[in-house]
Structure 1
Amino acid sequence: MIDIEKSSDVTLSMMINNVEQAHREIDNYFQFVEKAISDSPLGTTDRTTAFRACVERSVAASFELSDKLLRAKDLKDVLRIQTDFFQTQLRALTEQSRDLCEESVSDVTHVQIK
């Protein structure tokens, strides 16, 4: 007979290892992107830096969600974690949209002044 508790522990361990490996691969990817941006003719501008920061926050939030879901105790915990994640992402999106609008208005203002 299969020991269900042992099987779930093995499965959880594999999932945690996969998430940790994904963390390492994303870190490598961001290092690659940072080098590519710094080597590009555009260089590191305020916009590329802001864009990279937004992407990094989004990826970090997704990994944090994965980590929390892997450790959820029951369905109620899963629902709470997902609700918190959704609310946090909506706040972040609102903030990013506001910042982008402010930057765009500032750019238009500077163009009109010249």
Structure 2
Amino acid sequence: MSEPKLDVPTELRELAEKTIEQAERAFQMFFDAAGKSMSSVPGPAADISKQALSLTEQNMKTAFEHARKLVHATELEEAMRIQSEFLRSQFTNAGEHMREITTRMMNVTKKPTQDPS
């Protein structure tokens, strides 16, 4: 028995690719603006926010890569494999990101507060 093909017209795949590129550019503009605005905020909370923004940006880049792979999938089995790999990597990354943020937050709370007088 042959594997079911994903019969998607070339024009539709090209449109999807262009849409992904536009969305990626828009998100990059957002992350650039957010990063610049965070750089003006001092203190440990800003560091945690910057890290969270960086992790979110990494997740978005991974999601765009995933979308590109799916756009070019030609068989259902290939699309399912791509989706499975993506979900597996997202769960792994989420755990790593939580550990990083928790570690940073614990380090911030352990630092002695400075007396303003």
Task: Answer yes or no: same fold by TM over 0.5.
Answer: yes
Aligned residues: 107
With over 3 angstroms needed to count, the CA separation of the structure-2 counterparts of 1:103 and 1:38, relative to structure 1, is closer
1:34-84: CA deviation from partner (whole Å, max 9, x where unpaired): 222223x43794212211111111101110110010011111001100110
Cα distance, 1:99 vs structure 2: 1.6
Tell me: higher relative CO, structure 1 or 2? Use CA pairs within 8 A at least 6 residues apart: 2
2:26 equivalent to 1:42: no
2:9 equivalent to 1:8: yes
Contact 1:69 1:81 in 2 (8 A): yes
**Percent identity between the two aligned chains:** 22
Contact 2:20 2:67 in 1 (8 A): yes
The residue number in structure 1 matching 2:90 is 89
1:101 is aligned with what amino acid? T
**Alignment gaps of 5+ in structure 2:** 1-6
| RMSD (Å) for aligned C-alpha atoms | 2.5
With over 3 angstroms needed to count, the CA separation of the structure-2 counterparts of 1:101 and 1:82, relative to structure 1, is same
CA distance in 1, matches of 2:26, 2:108: 36
Runs of 4+ in 1 over 4 A off after TM superposition: none
Cα distance, 1:86 vs structure 2: 0.5
The residue number in structure 2 matching 1:62 is 63
**Alignment gaps of 5+ in structure 1:** none
1:54 is aligned with what amino acid? L
Contact 1:37 1:43 in 2 (8 A): no
Q: Which has the higher helix share?
A: 1
